[in-house]
Amino acid sequence: MATSVERALALKNIAVVGLSKDPTKAAHTVPRYLQHQGYKIIPVNPFGGEELLGEKVYNKVSEIEGPVDLVVVFRPSAEVPAVLKDVLTRQDVQGVWLQEGITSSEAEELVSKRGLIFVQDKCTFKEHRRLQR
């Protein structure tokens, strides 16, 4: 059976909470990498402006028009529960991924109760590269 990392990376419409405008930050380079690998990246950043990586920027995941399969979070661990409360208002989200260095037992509990895929403290870029070998 596929691991949660493999199941998450099989999802193609990814909302990235905290996608950065700064091209030197991982919160910009990692989503850009995923976009180049064929994923649909949906930027979520209230300070992101109109467009990032050629896509419309949303303030919150709940405001995204169109499907969201996976939510990748680039925000401090303390902000994750508030992000999740918004994310879980959607019915189409199949998984939540907290980037490397981000953990939340509260988020894990909320996501698990819904039966969704949950990954924390792992980098989508590193895991994608590892699985491509």
Paired sense of beta strands 95-98 and 70-73, if any: parallel
Q: Enumerate the domain spans of the chain.
A: 4-132
The pTM for the full model equals 0.96
42 Cα distance to chain centroid: 9
Question: Quick check: 26 and 99 in contact, CB under 8 A?
Answer: yes
CA distance 48 to 15: 14
> What does the pLDDT look like over 20-78, one tens digit per residue?
999 999 999 999 999 999 999 999 998 888 999 999 999 999 999 999 999 999 999 99
Nearest to 78 by CA among 58, 48, 98: 98
Domain 4-132 grouped into CATH 3.40.50.720: yes
Q: Cα 87–7–119 angle (5° rounding)?
A: 55
